[in-house]
Structure 1
């Protein structure tokens, strides 16, 4: 019996989590690795001592590659399948990592980051769908929360590896080794993913129904005749019938959507939830925390690097509680509580660095820890999960790609403006995020329905369509 058939039930689901999680480790690692290096002399010398605005461009262009990867996943992801899209994205990321490691100038670093971004955009658009479609519904939130916790753990690894090389090494190895280390995660996924199955829902939608049921039984750890397997197969068949008998969706329908499923509204919500996530200000801290600590809080370079690693540990610890409560508490309440906590932390942080005394600087530093923990417990994982949950099967890859496109679009904007804004606007820059978090609270309350409500509406519509089809056949 081969390894691919040996993996069954919970063991198989954990294998999927680990393999996909390695990609998410890479996602988090790439988010954090330059954040610990952007103030290091040997790194800045290698890329020509760029101005703060050009440094922002170098960091931000990674996100343009991610945008391209999202577009690729939206256009070709359903044709390739979830697993093959992730495999291709991981191979592309290895190529990008090699180019970055061998950097001898800003142009080469930009090319490497664009290539890595392309692969990462493909992966981050696809992995939430892959994991959610391989997870039982009652554990779906937990599964994606684990993946997003792994992302932040990757950021922790990046910052502490940066700190270790800065503290103990000299010369170009200080930054070349941390950049090269990213390929370890991509290679792990490349070597493990071939032993894992494609998702049953994608297989079923492609007409490979026997294979889909077989994979479903393996994921359940049961036989193909198990009642639970039969029930889920019936749900997949009903969803596929819904898609086949309803008006086919096309991109022009975004302008004039008359379908009862309201595809346009769902895709707009996919875009907006990542928009609000980014305008909490999280990537100011993720990309530039050492600059924030040096310029805004007033710490030394070495102390900033040490504290940055501690802040990322706090961030990661904040991602652990949702693994246990997210499926019980729900998506919208968690987002609302998180926004209130984030607004409190950001407002006090802004006031602290504005007053600019030793006591208020310490208070601002404490608020950074509270901010990171609050984000980890709320807005970190839900936006990635929500997009896959609110879109119908034939649009799931598009919804996930739209959400991820929004993530990388606004990450690019924030990464581009942050160094210049910190240097020239100081504490006033953070007022932007105070205002945006304030606005996202009513938007979340009024426009983001709880997913259990969405599932109920979808099920009612499927039953109505099925009843209508039966009547039509009888007549």
Structure 2
């Protein structure tokens, strides 16, 4: 639904029945505003979600988002004015803000084994990006007709995904980590039993529970030194024992840098970019559809390699390859165009989006959900979505203006985003693969704080062993 909703309107924006339904607006900013109001709403929602997500939980936030998606889709598909369409886009943006904040966190916290989180989020990325070409091809087929249904049906179709996604969540619990953080221990025990398919008093389940409770205790102790002013320094000056501020700031900046690297620009305006590169008008629509399929296919290898290669390596080396590709593309746009240069530019775009899908599309959501502290994971998810949608709004609103007024030099801005990504990951992002969510806490912790927590964990384990021995002696 996420990908479908992001891409479905782009395929009908210039469709005559659609323009007729909203009275053929002539203002220069009307169509860009309709497109970008969705991203702006999602951005603001992510900031608001941070204030209430911990109260209703990961599950409740996802359900709320899906309900809003149905409402927003119905309003959009029945629109007969720019105002009604914009209201529908804003409500749907609210829905995606909720979902994009909560789903990666839910997936990360329900992984039973350490190696579950990577494939789960990689599969999530595959499904997410697959929604974009699905929306494109449904638009492509429906807009061959000139009836009003030709644009209303594709927009209403997203309700199906929202009903399925939201309906399934009614039958699932929230995550054990959320329940324990809220002191709802009986529900946390029940969720742990269901996830591990084992009784709560087995050693495996008890070990997981101890790690979660110790992490909560450590974060409570570290949180006592937090102050809102620390966010103004973007986490550079962070003296908290577990670097909570720095980790939340990474959650904001990493997805924002990703959008700076050109993801949404190429996904939203693939037809415009291909036509400017030199593709024939008869080929532009076909190439744009295939390009979006390539983007989705790039996410597939991540499912099989993320746990072996590691998050940091995927992000770092992916950014290096993408920097080289976008540099070549920029040079090709700067030199006089020939048929060979035009096709080379098109080929570079295909390669770039394939690598992007593998290296940065799913891995960013996974990494941010892993480094966010347990009791602040809802804030980390909100920060991730806020950074994502803030830069998406800027890109979608200003991208076509920049391409029109600046020409090939606009790609230097995209290139700079890829270079910044290399430096950011190299200096600020440690590897989180192969560790539990609780162990990730100690990657950012001061050495003396880690030692104290490990001793507390050891004492807890020794105490548990003594209690077991005492029960055995009593039975004897």
- Bin the TM-score by the shorter chain: 0.7 to 0.9
- Structure 1 distance, partners of 2:419, 2:317, is 12
- Equivalent residue, structure 1, for 2:313: 333
CA contact (8 A) 1:77 1:397 kept: yes
- Structure 2 distance, partners of 1:82, 1:127, is 7
Which segment drifts farther, 206-215 or 376-385?
Answer: 206-215
- Equivalent residue, structure 1, for 2:130: 153
Q: Deviations over 1:399-442 (max 9, x none)?
A: 11111101000000000112222232232222210122123212
Match for residue 444 of structure 1 among 425, 439, 457 = 425
Structure 1's unaligned 5+ residue stretches are: 1-25
- Equivalent residue, structure 2, for 1:67: 43
- Equivalent residue, structure 1, for 2:283: 303
Q: Within 5 Å, which residues of 2 pair with 1:254-403?
A: 254=231, 257-300=238-281, 303-354=283-334, 355-403=336-384
Structure 1 residue 468, shift from structure 2 partner: 7.0
Match for residue 220 of structure 2 among 227, 241, 244 = 244
CA pair 347-447 structure 1, distance change in 2 beyond 3 A? same
Structure 1 residue 253, shift from structure 2 partner: 5.0
CA contact (8 A) 1:63 1:409 kept: yes
Please state if 1:43 is matched with 2:31.
no
Structure 2's unaligned 5+ residue stretches are: 460-476
CA contact (8 A) 2:277 2:346 kept: no
Quick check: which has more Rg, 1 or 2?
2
CA contact (8 A) 2:242 2:442 kept: no
Please state if 1:230 is matched with 2:206.
yes
- Structure 2 distance, partners of 1:322, 1:50, is 44
Matched position secondary structure for 2:269: helix
Which segment drifts farther, 188-197 or 118-127?
Answer: 188-197
Structure 1 residue 218, shift from structure 2 partner: 1.1
Structure 1 residue 466, shift from structure 2 partner: 6.2
- Equivalent residue, structure 2, for 1:118: 94
Structure 1 residue 110, shift from structure 2 partner: 1.3
Please state if 1:457 is matched with 2:443.
yes
- Equivalent residue, structure 2, for 1:7: none
- Structure 2 distance, partners of 1:468, 1:130, is 28
- Equivalent residue, structure 2, for 1:21: none
Q: Report the number of matched residues.
A: 444
Which segment drifts farther, 261-270 or 352-361?
Answer: 352-361
CA contact (8 A) 1:297 1:353 kept: no
CA contact (8 A) 1:352 1:364 kept: yes
Matched position secondary structure for 2:443: helix
CA contact (8 A) 1:69 1:121 kept: yes
- Equivalent residue, structure 2, for 1:142: 119
- Equivalent residue, structure 1, for 2:83: 107
CA contact (8 A) 2:223 2:240 kept: yes
- Equivalent residue, structure 1, for 2:7: 32
Alignment TM-score, normalising by the size of structure 1: 0.88
CA contact (8 A) 2:215 2:441 kept: no
- Structure 1 distance, partners of 2:155, 2:202, is 48
- Equivalent residue, structure 1, for 2:105: 129
Alignment TM-score, normalising by the size of structure 2: 0.88
CA contact (8 A) 2:243 2:444 kept: no
Q: Deviations over 1:270-312 (max 9, x none)?
A: 1111121011111111111122223333431x53222111111
- Structure 2 distance, partners of 1:291, 1:79, is 43
What root-mean-square deviation, in Å, do the aligned CA atoms of Structure 1 and Structure 2 show?
2.2
- Structure 2 distance, partners of 1:329, 1:304, is 36
Structure 1 residue 262, shift from structure 2 partner: 1.3
Structure 1 residue 66, shift from structure 2 partner: 0.3
Structure 1 residue 92, shift from structure 2 partner: 0.9
Structure 1 residue 53, shift from structure 2 partner: 3.9
- Equivalent residue, structure 2, for 1:170: 146
Structure 1 residue 39, shift from structure 2 partner: 3.4
Matched position secondary structure for 2:414: helix
Matched position secondary structure for 2:198: coil
- Equivalent residue, structure 1, for 2:471: none
- Structure 1 distance, partners of 2:337, 2:9, is 27
CA contact (8 A) 2:242 2:441 kept: no
Which segment drifts farther, 385-394 or 372-381?
Answer: 385-394
Structure 1 residue 32, shift from structure 2 partner: 1.3
- Structure 2 distance, partners of 1:63, 1:347, is 28
